[in-house]
Chains A and B, each alone.
Chain A
Amino acid sequence: MKNVVASPDCSQNMQPVVLEFRNVSFSYGIAPVLENVSFTIRKGDMTCIVGPNGGGKTTILKLALGLIQPQQGEINLLGSSPPTNVTRVGYSPQYIHYDPRFPMTVIDIVLTGRLGNALKIGYSKADKETAKYALEQVGLLEKMQVPFGSLSGGQRQRVLLARALACEPELLLLDEPTSNVDAASEVHFQEILERMKQHVTLVLVTHDLAFVSGLTTSVLCVNRRVLSHSTGELSEQVLREMYGNDIKLVKHDPMHRR
C-alpha cells in the first residue's frame, strides 16, 4: 500500500495554465460544497476529478464554466475569469439530465455545440461539416438523423461527447462520461479519449476509479476540499479519507499503467 504521489505541480511542466482555482469556496445556501479549493490544470493534461457523491465534483465544472460564481476565491479559465472564455471550452453535462423525449435528432444535438462560434442566423455549411466530423470521431455518423432519445446510454454519451467536440475546444470538461455505459462502450470511449488527448486538455468527472488509473496524467480527489492533487496514482489512504470507510483499490488493467 505505497503512496506514490509525484510532486503536485510538476515544476518541469511549463505548459500554459488552462484552468486554475485559487482558494475557491462555494455553498448552496448554508451547506458548504467546496472549501478552499486550489488546483492548476495545464495544457495537455488529462485530469480526472474523483470523489464521493455530493462531494462537489460537478460543482467544480460549473464554477469553471461560470454557470455559478464562487463566494470566495478566484478562478482563471484560459487567462480570465469565467464565463469570459467559455466558448473555447467544450462541456458535456451528465446525459441523464437530457430529456430523451425532447424532439431532437442526433445532428441537432451536436450542432448546438457550434452555437458559440456561429453568430449568424442558422447554422452555416461549415458548422454542419464540423458537427459531422465530430460525430465521425465518436463513430456515430450513420446515426445523425436518428432521434437522440432512441439511442442507448453509451451512444448518447458519445453523441454528447461529439457535441462538446463540435465546439473545437481547447479544454474539454466531461461530467460522468461513462455512467450508464456498458463495458464494451466504455472501452470504446477510452479509445476515443486517448485519441483526443493529443489535441485537447481534458478534465473529466468520474467515479469510475479504474478509468482513472489508465489514461490520466493527474487526479484530483474532491470531497468538499481537494484531498490530493497527484500526478501519480490513487492511493488507498486517499480513497479512505475521501470515502470515509474501508475501500479496496483493485487494479483493473495494469497494462495501461505508466
Chain B
Amino acid sequence: MFSHSFLLNAALAGLFAGISCGIAGVFLVTTHLSFLGVCIAHAGFAGAILGIWLKIDPVISASVFSIAAAFAIGPLADKGELSPDTAAGIIFSLTIGLAFLFLGLMPGSRGEALSLFWGGILTANSKDLLLLSFVTLGTLVIVALFYKEIVAVLCHRSIAVAVGIPAVFVLYLLFVWSAIIIAVSLRIVGGLLIYSLVVNPAAAAFQLTYRIKYLFILSALFGVLSTWVGLFVSYFLDLPAGASIVIVSTVIFAVALFISPKRKTISDLDPVREILPPHNGDSKELK
C-alpha cells in the first residue's frame, strides 16, 4: 500500500502526530487535566476555522486559540475557584460555539473548513510533514533535556518547587507545547477527533505501567499504533481515516484497561483515596 506517495506521507504524518500527541497526553493525563486537552483541541479547531475564514494560516490561528485556552483554564483549575469540570464545560461550549459561528459567517466555499472536522491524513502534504516533524523533534528534545524536572513537576508540584524548580513555569510550558502539538496535528486527525489521540494512548499506557519512563514510551507507541492501524483499516475497509484512528485508539485503551494490573491492586490498596481524595491533609485518616 506504500507504493502511493500519499500513503507514505500519511504514514509519516501518523508517525509524527502519534508520537507527539501521545507524549502531550502524558502531560495532561498525569496532571489529571485531560479535560484541558479537550478544551485545547476544540479551541484550536475554532481557531483554525477562523484562520481559514480570515485567510490566515490555520496552524497559526489554531495555535493562538489553543494556547489561549490553556492559559484560560490552567489558572481556573489551579486556584480551585471553579471546579475543573465547570471550567472545562464553559470553555468547551464556548469554543464549539465559536467554531460554528465562524463556520456560519464564512462566505463562499466551506470545503476546507468542513474537512477540518474529520481531518485529512490522506492529504498530508510536505508542509504538514515538515511542521509535524519539527514539532515531534521539539517534543523529544524537551522531554530528553528536562526529563527529571518534568517528571518531578508532574508528580508533585510543591516538592518540585521546594527543590528549586520553577514548577508553574514548567507546567505552563508543557501546556503551551501541548497546545502547539494539538494545533499542528489538527489538520491530520480532525478537530473533533484529535482529543482522543491525545488522551487515549496516555490513558492506555497509564493502565499498564508503574514506571514513568515506560509511560512516555508506551504512550508514544500507542499513538503511532493508533494512527497506523487506523490508516490501514480505513484504507482496506474504505472508512474515514480520522474516525478509524480514533476508534483504534479507543480499542487500545479498552484492551489496556482489561489487562491492567492496576485496576485490581491499587483500588484495593487505598479505598479511601479512591472515593474521596482529601483536600485538607490536616485531617488524620483512620486506616
A and B: interacting chains: yes
A contact set with B: CB distance below 8 Å: 53-54, 57-58, 62, 65-67, 83, 86-87, 89, 91, 93-94, 96-105, 108-109, 111-113, 115-116, 118, 121-123, 147, 149-150, 153, 163, 167, 175-176, 179-180, 182, 207
Check B93 for interface membership: any CB of A closer than 8 A.
no
- Residues on the A chain within 8 Å of B206, using CB: 101, 103
Q: A104 vs B214: C-alpha distance in the bound complex, in angstroms?
A: 10
Cβ-closest chain B residue relative to A108:
B212
Instruction: Let me know if B147 and A180 touch, CB within 8 A.
Output: no
Q: A118 vs B266: C-alpha distance in the bound complex, in angstroms?
A: 32
Provide 25 A-B residue pairs closer than 8 Å at the C-beta atoms, listed in order of the A residue.
A65-B161, A67-B162, A83-B161, A86-B164, A91-B158, A91-B159, A91-B163, A93-B158, A94-B281, A96-B273, A100-B273, A103-B209, A104-B151, A105-B210, A105-B211, A112-B151, A112-B152, A112-B163, A115-B160, A116-B164, A122-B148, A149-B266, A149-B269, A180-B284, A207-B284
Apart from A121-B145, A176-B284, what are 14 other A-B pairs with CB-CB below 8 Å?
A57-B282, A87-B163, A93-B159, A98-B155, A99-B32, A100-B269, A102-B212, A104-B211, A123-B148, A147-B210, A150-B269, A163-B159, A176-B282, A180-B287
Distance of B6 from chain A, by nearest CB (Å): 38
- Residues on the B chain within 8 Å of A122, using CB: 147-148
- Interchain CB contact (< 8 A) of A98 among B156, B164, B262: B156
- Residues on the B chain within 8 Å of A94, using CB: 281
Distance of B51 from chain A, by nearest CB (Å): 37
- Residues on the B chain within 8 Å of A104, using CB: 151, 155, 210-212
- Interchain CB contact (< 8 A) of B163 among A86, A105, A108: A86
Check B238 for interface membership: any CB of A closer than 8 A.
no
CB 8 Å contact bits of B208-221 with A (1 = contact, 0 = none): 01111011000000
Instruction: Let me know if A96 and B163 touch, CB within 8 A.
Output: no
Q: A115 vs B148: C-alpha distance in the bound complex, in angstroms?
A: 8
- Residues on the B chain within 8 Å of A62, using CB: 158
Report whether over half of chain B's contact residues are helix, strand or loop; otherwise say mixed: helix
Q: A115 vs B162: C-alpha distance in the bound complex, in angstroms?
A: 10
Q: A157 vs B262: C-alpha distance in the bound complex, in angstroms?
A: 21
Check B3 for interface membership: any CB of A closer than 8 A.
no
Check B270 for interface membership: any CB of A closer than 8 A.
yes
Q: A99 vs B158: C-alpha distance in the bound complex, in angstroms?
A: 13
Check B280 for interface membership: any CB of A closer than 8 A.
yes
Report whether over half of chain A's contact residues are helix, strand or loop; otherwise say mixed: loop
- Residues on the B chain within 8 Å of A57, using CB: 282
- Residues on the A chain within 8 Å of B269, using CB: 100, 149-150
Distance of A11 from chain B, by nearest CB (Å): 33
Q: How many A-B residue pairs have CB under 8 A?
A: 124
Q: Report if A118-B285 is in contact (Cβ < 8 Å); known contacts: A54-B280, A67-B158, A97-B156.
A: no
- Residues on the A chain within 8 Å of B160, using CB: 112, 115
Instruction: Let me know if B212 and A103 touch, CB within 8 A.
Output: yes
Q: A99 vs B214: C-alpha distance in the bound complex, in angstroms?
A: 18
Instruction: Let me know if B147 and A100 touch, CB within 8 A.
Output: no
- Residues on the B chain within 8 Å of A91, using CB: 158-159, 162-163
CB 8 Å contact bits of B15-47 with A (1 = contact, 0 = none): 000000000000000101000000000000000
Q: A163 vs B206: C-alpha distance in the bound complex, in angstroms?
A: 24
Instruction: Let me know if A167 and B163 touch, CB within 8 A.
Output: yes
Q: A53 vs B280: C-alpha distance in the bound complex, in angstroms?
A: 9
Q: Report if A112-B148 is in contact (Cβ < 8 Å); known contacts: A91-B162, A94-B281.
A: yes
Check B149 for interface membership: any CB of A closer than 8 A.
yes
Instruction: Let me know if B165 and A115 touch, CB within 8 A.
Output: yes
Q: A121 vs B262: C-alpha distance in the bound complex, in angstroms?
A: 31
Instruction: Let me know if A176 and B266 touch, CB within 8 A.
Output: no
Instruction: Let me know if B281 and A102 touch, CB within 8 A.
Output: no
CB 8 Å contact bits of B132-176 with A (1 = contact, 0 = none): 000000000000110111011011101111111100000000000
- Interchain CB contact (< 8 A) of A108 among B158, B211, B287: B211
Check B109 for interface membership: any CB of A closer than 8 A.
no
- Residues on the A chain within 8 Å of B155, using CB: 98, 102, 104, 109, 112
Instruction: Let me know if A96 and B285 touch, CB within 8 A.
Output: yes
Check B126 for interface membership: any CB of A closer than 8 A.
no
- Residues on the A chain within 8 Å of B212, using CB: 102-104, 108
Check B278 for interface membership: any CB of A closer than 8 A.
yes
- Interchain CB contact (< 8 A) of B162 among A65, A105, A179, A180: A65
Distance of B177 from chain A, by nearest CB (Å): 18
- Residues on the B chain within 8 Å of A99, using CB: 32
Q: A111 vs B45: C-alpha distance in the bound complex, in angstroms?
A: 40
Q: A153 vs B152: C-alpha distance in the bound complex, in angstroms?
A: 21
